Amino acid sequence: MTNLDGLKDALRKVAEESHQKKPLSDTNYSNGFDIFVQEQNVVGYNDFIIPHLVQILTSLFESRTQISVLEIGPGPRSILGQLPAGLRRKVRKYTAFEPNKLFATKLEDLSGHEPDGEKSSLPFPNLESPPNIHSLPFNLEINTASKLDIAPLNHDQRFDLVLFCHSMYGMKPKHRYIEQALEMLSEGGLVGVFHRQGNLHIDRLVCHRTASFPGVVRVCDDNQVLDGFASFIAGFELHNVDETIRMDWRKVCRDLACYDDPNYLSFSSPEVMMTFNQHATALPELTAHVPLVNENRVVKNWEAQLHHPSAIVRPTEILHVQLCGRWASKYGFKLTVIGGGHGSQCLQSNVVAVDMGAFDQIHILMPESNKTQEALEEPRSLVVVEAGCKTGDIITTTMAAGLTVPLGSRPSVGAGLWLQGGIGHLTRLHGLACDAIVGAIVVSVDSGEVLCVGQVPSQYQPSNAVRPNNEFEILWAIKGAGPNVGIIVSVTFKSFVAPTYSVRNWVLPVRDEIEGQSVLKSFDTVVARRLPRSSSIDSFLYRDVGQLHIGITLFEVSSPGLSLPVPTIKDVNLDMIKGPYESKTVDGVGLFGTEMYISGMHGGHGGGKTSSFKRCLFLKNIGEANIAARLTAAIKSSPSQSYLHLLHGGGAVRDLAADDTAFGCRDWDFACVITGVWPRNKNGTMSERSAVDWVYSVARDLLPVSTGAYGADLGPDPRDEELAKRAFGSNGPRLASLKHSLDPHNILTFTCPLPKAASKPKLIILVTGLEGVGKDHTAQDWASVFVENNITACVMSISDVTKRQYAAATGADLNLLIKDRVYKEQHRPALSEFFQEQVRNRPRLPEEHFENAVDNAGDSAVLFITGMRDKAPITGFSHLVPGSRVVEVHVQCSEEMRSFRRKTHRGEQDRNNRGGSTMTPLEYQPALFFDNNLNGSEAAKRFATDFLLPFCHEDLHILAGMVPLKLGFPSAGTKFRHVLGIAQQPGGLALCTSLLRSRFVGDWATVGAIVSCEAGGFVFASSLASAINIPLVLVRKSGKLPPPTVSVVRQRSYISSLKPDASPSLHFEMERDGIPVGASVVVVDDVLSTGETLCAVLQLLHEAGVESGQVTVMVVAEFPLHRGRILLQKCGFARVHVQSLLVFGGA
């Protein structure tokens, strides 16, 4: 399938002799443009443009209360007008340059003001003034400032976003236009570029973000339509020309197109998106200190060759690598890393590439010279390999010392292979390449530090290297997902005795698919499953001269001291492999030349004559009918020269558990490498497209029967998304979390995609109250306070999901349900019954709605949720987000104010509060109350400043940092937060005491006693009681206090229950007369987890005559996962006010 650039060149070549050319008229340009936005071509917008815009712009828009935008060439409607409503509402100023007068007129109609009551249908309903639409091109010759009537530009009049829509058609040199747009930005603004027709290269500039989408444009196969389309692509009209040229244009279109549908012509139309920030010109700052690659750096991968990086730097010392990471982190740029040059992501347009080729040393340490040897399971030589080395270099060097490392089967492959798996012919005997890694030197792209992890010989540890606290987690991640962790400088391998290999090759022509499936069954069950670990057998499925062939290669490994396994190869029946075979004995270097695809298939795939595209899935039981049929069917539909390579696995791969390394796919017999091949001189043509499409088609078909996917080949292509989800098995969430901590700005984004880290808002505020008290408006006011303090915040209504479903089921107007109060009140009885019926069928529906609201909060640090009808929502929902603080604020007001807000008569009764005040007592105790009796936003914002903003105070972050995470205590697998560690930190106890004192929502003057239970709570309670000068009442185990006492039975706490000798319960006592009659009490404890201790203390207080309404609980740390608040509610203590300084997700 030809892309649009190729089609344009072909059309222009046909018309180059014609002198009857003229520029496209507005009408013809409009007709051509319409083809790209017709229904069959909008997938690029729906699947790429809009989702990427939302992802990129959300943080920009949320950091501002209002947005000013400039669109260049938007066409008949604004691209930004298709964003979610919450983002569009922030656009207050809109300017556009659209040279097509027809489009400009439509823009004015779509963007202008409408009569009251219809404003909500506008793309930008909150514009402060009419849109400024300029029917002229955005070019370098005009005085842009004067055309915009904003001379001179100042901060308030600049744009937060400048967007080049659809393409930079006719703009040369492109970097000048981008630079001009950059000068028009406000502080922190962005320039965005969407480009159709392939790769976009902009000289001298570094992009902030980039992404691509393999789009396709489909054109109706009609002469009149093709004439208009061809003119649009060529960029000019043919005037008064011979009909022959038009016919030639149609023929070119039809010859170069692909026919997915007999009525349409299809052309490749890749979409490229880039954004630039104000630091786009910062490249000289890096290249002044880090050497550039002066020659044209050749990479192996054909996809990478299509890209034009901003620069390729070649560090020659570790300091240079550190500078690269610090520079990217400082300006928010991405980096790619070049090792062997086989990865499709090693180069990206307008991204700096770091070529590690200068790090090409290999060091071998024999056991007697290796000072780290005691950490290994047996005396073994170590091989230190720098990141610029190739597989062939490593094998050659180690063989000279009688050693080897279990690497892959291609000599030119670099570090990307070892770090992401590495499957070779020693895999069954010694495991994957990444399994042999025992240590590494890594440069952090976050801190810029040089990290030493695992076993690295001391003489090869840089003098400035540090061992991070999580070094074994980093080493775990390097062994399977290394490119995601940091910039790897070197790895240390354990080595093995160098073997020799006996290789036998068979080629079996088969008559049809049925025979092919029979051969695969015998190959799998009779031979492959019975081979000893010292042998492996691969298979190749391919077509030659139209006939299916199955190639088979048997590898037998032998080396001095290698004991023969039982059974041996002699015990395996090889008679099913019929026909002659070639046999040879080779060493590790010679092995590279024995691969069947190099010399035995299609005349050989070596020598640089072909290009290829690969994806790999892991399979078991390939002889089963369901799988064998899929494999042979894949070859039947394969393009010429394409093939399947089944690499034998099992053996040592399965010796490790799935979570022993980041490489989580361990349960497989064969790695199925789906390889699309085409002649190298056909790059960019239909041959390439067909091969790539075939690879993805086969991968989709095999994925349901696979046990995982190989991550080494995968990248940000949308078609890789489903494969990437299967690349790391159950290790995905752990990797995502580690990636977020090691590379929080995703500088190394061009690697195998990891699942997005579970990023939950740190603070979730549930806004509750009756209808008409002003919850939604108040929540917006509160959110604005956080945004004004540079804390991202958003507001969501939990009831919107129900409203959408109700509208779909009943035909109600969704827009009015959400925005029109009168209309909503008319439907409220039916809407409530609809929701209750849903809950009867799906009892967990409220929790699902809450989880969806949290998931849709994006990267917001603070989430306000309105529309809740649940009683004690913190109790019901906080365990669903164990790492987030959940706070309820109950909004209330007088009935008069409520009626006024609802625009009803004062005496109207509410079905939830018939005739009374809305400020009636609740059955539980919210964290905070807000009396919303004043009009305007001042009171709400003051409340947020005084009571909500402190939840994000820096002192709380400092205190949280004093609570270390202890793994494996008190039992294996437990992640223990050592809250008492606060007292061991300098100033820790004083800070905690100060926060307990200041965060108390009551009045200390009314508190008669502080109560605390042994033992952890004593530390914090005694300090607080001393600071405030309030009596401290102790709760102790039975027998520790003199009588008279009151006593209760308390179940074991969560941590205590993990101990093997834990008894089921304890008796706790408190002095009977320790608390003055009628006094208010504050209970202080170190943690709230299961709630057993707290329930016992509250029961003691009840026995001593203290009612729930007189008690406030303050804990240093809460662990919602254990649902302690639910136990409090079950025990009758729902009205006790519970406050916690910190919230953690573990134990």
In contact, 235 and 8? CB cutoff 8 Å: yes
Give domain status of residue 317, yes or no: no
In the chain, % of residues over pLDDT 70:
88
Phi and psi, residue 404, nearest 5°:
-155, 165
Residue 621 or residue 758, greater confidence:
621
| Cα separation, 527 vs 531, whole angstroms | 6
**pLDDT at residue number 916:** 35
| Domain span including residue 88 | 4-272
Mean pLDDT (whole number) for 457-475? 92
Share the mean pLDDT of the chain.
83
Residues 709 and 588 in one domain: yes
**pLDDT at residue number 140:** 72
| Cα separation, 366 vs 373, whole angstroms | 10
Mean pLDDT (whole number) for 144-158? 47
In contact, 652 and 431? CB cutoff 8 Å: yes
Q: Is the pLDDT of residue 159 over 60?
A: yes
Going by their DSSP bridges, the two strands 487-494 and 496-497 should be labelled as: unpaired
Residues 1010 and 1062 in one domain: yes
Residue 507 or residue 875, greater confidence:
507
Provide the token pair at 160. Answer: 């937060």
**pLDDT at residue number 199:** 63
Q: How confident is the model at residue 233 (pLDDT cuts 50, 70, 90)?
A: confident
Residues 973 and 916 in one domain: no
Residues 420 and 559 in one domain: no
Give the Cα-Cα-Cα angle 645, 646, 648 (nearest 5 degrees): 140
| Cα separation, 339 vs 361, whole angstroms | 13
**pLDDT at residue number 144:** 46
pLDDT in tens, 641-689: 899 999 999 999 999 988 889 998 999 999 999 999 998 888 777 788 8
Start-to-end CA distance of the chain, whole Å, equals 56
Q: How confident is the model at residue 440 (pLDDT cuts 50, 70, 90)?
A: very high
Give domain status of residue 746, yes or no: no
Mean pLDDT (whole number) for 969-994? 79
CATH of the domain at 988: 3.40.50.2020
Give domain status of residue 349, yes or no: no
pLDDT in tens, 521-544: 999 999 999 999 999 999 999 998
**pLDDT at residue number 395:** 94
Amino acid at 206: V
Mean pLDDT (whole number) for 186-197? 85
Q: Give the least confident one: 366-380, 417-431, 952-966.
A: 366-380
Give domain status of residue 408, yes or no: yes
Q: Is the pLDDT of residue 53 over 50?
A: yes
Residues 968 and 930 in one domain: no
pLDDT in tens, 82-112: 888 778 888 889 999 988 888 888 887 654 4
Q: Among 220, 245, 272, where does a domain finish?
A: 272
Sign, CA dihedral 91-96-101-103, equals negative
Q: Write the secondary structure of 856-921 as one string of H (helix), E (strand) and C (coil).
A: CCCCCCEEEEECCCCCCHHHHHHHHCCCCEEEEEEEECCHHHHHHHCCCCCCCCECCECCCCCCCC
Neighbours of 255 (CB within 10 A): 10
| Cα separation, 12 vs 885, whole angstroms | 63
**DSSP H stretches of helix in 558-608:** 596-599
Distances (CA, A) of 725 to 43, 154, 656, 747, 882: 22, 47, 21, 21, 24
**pLDDT at residue number 460:** 96
C-alpha Rg value of the chain to the nearest Å: 34
Mean pLDDT (whole number) for 348-353? 89
Provide the token pair at 842. Answer: 């799906």
Neighbours of 498 (CB within 10 A): 18
Of 75-79, 241-245, 336-340, the range with the highest mean pLDDT is 336-340
Q: How confident is the model at residue 1146 (pLDDT cuts 50, 70, 90)?
A: low
**pLDDT at residue number 205:** 92
pLDDT in tens, 1006-1024: 898 999 988 888 999 999 9
Mean pLDDT (whole number) for 1053-1071? 60
Phi and psi, residue 77, nearest 5°:
-150, 155
Count helices and strands in the chain by DSSP H and E runs: 37, 44
Residues 790 and 906 in one domain: yes
Q: Is the pLDDT of residue 328 over 50?
A: yes
Residue with tokens 């939302």: 54
**DSSP H stretches of helix in 443-580:** 471-481, 513-522
Give domain status of residue 342, yes or no: no
Strand ranges (E), 723-838? 763-768, 793-797
Residues 1066 and 1103 in one domain: yes
| Cα separation, 308 vs 282, whole angstroms | 17
**pLDDT at residue number 986:** 83
> What are the beta bridge partners of residue 1085?
1115
Q: How confident is the model at residue 490 (pLDDT cuts 50, 70, 90)?
A: very high
Residues 463 and 486 in one domain: yes
**pLDDT at residue number 1064:** 53
In contact, 702 and 620? CB cutoff 8 Å: no
Provide the token pair at 1038. Answer: 């039975």
Q: Among 465, 497, 529, where does a domain finish?
A: 497
**pLDDT at residue number 755:** 73
CATH of the domain at 398: 3.30.465.10
**pLDDT at residue number 143:** 46
Is pTM beyond 0.95? Reply is: no
Amino acid at 527: V
Mean pLDDT (whole number) for 572-581? 78
Residues 525 and 663 in one domain: yes
pLDDT in tens, 832-887: 888 888 888 777 778 878 877 887 777 788 999 988 776 778 887 888 887 788 99
Residues 894 and 967 in one domain: no
**pLDDT at residue number 145:** 43
Mean pLDDT (whole number) for 447-454? 94
Q: Is the pLDDT of residue 910 over 50?
A: no
Q: Is the pLDDT of residue 1102 over 50?
A: yes
Q: Is the pLDDT of residue 718 over 70?
A: yes
Residues 979 and 870 in one domain: no
Give domain status of residue 1132, yes or no: yes
Burial tier of 176 (Cβ tally within 10 Å: 0-12, 13-18, 19+): middle
Q: Give the least confident one: 350-364, 433-447, 500-514, 876-890.
A: 876-890
Tally of residues, the chain: 1147
Q: Is the pLDDT of residue 919 over 80?
A: no
Give domain status of residue 627, yes or no: yes
Q: Among 247, 272, 297, where does a domain finish?
A: 272
CATH of the domain at 648: 3.40.462.20
**pLDDT at residue number 374:** 44
- Output helix, strand, coil percentages for the chain, rounded to the nearest 5: 40, 25, 40
Neighbours of 544 (CB within 10 A): 16
Residues 968 and 903 in one domain: no
Residues 6+ positions from 430 with CB-CB distance below 8 Å = 406, 436, 496, 652
Mean pLDDT (whole number) for 292-312? 81
Distances (CA, A) of 404 to 160, 398, 588, 910: 57, 5, 8, 81
Give domain status of residue 329, yes or no: no
Structural domains in the chain (count): 5
Distances (CA, A) of 77 to 30, 100, 295, 1105: 12, 12, 45, 70
Strand order in the sheet with 264-268: 216-220, 264-268, 258-261
Mean pLDDT (whole number) for 376-387? 79
Mean pLDDT (whole number) for 187-197? 84
**pLDDT at residue number 625:** 93
**pLDDT at residue number 628:** 95
Mean pLDDT (whole number) for 458-473? 92
Q: Write the secondary structure of 595-659 as one string of H (helix), E (strand) and C (coil).
A: CHHHHCCCCCCCCCCEEEEEEEEEECCCCCHHHHHHHHHHHHCCCCCCEEEEEECCHHHHHCCCC
pLDDT in tens, 789-835: 888 899 988 888 788 888 878 888 888 887 777 788 788 888 888 88
Q: Which helix (H) or strand (E) holds 1025?
A: helix 1016-1028
Residue with tokens 């009571």: 947
Q: Is the pLDDT of residue 921 over 60?
A: no
Residue with tokens 């017709």: 38
CATH of the domain at 831: 3.40.50.300
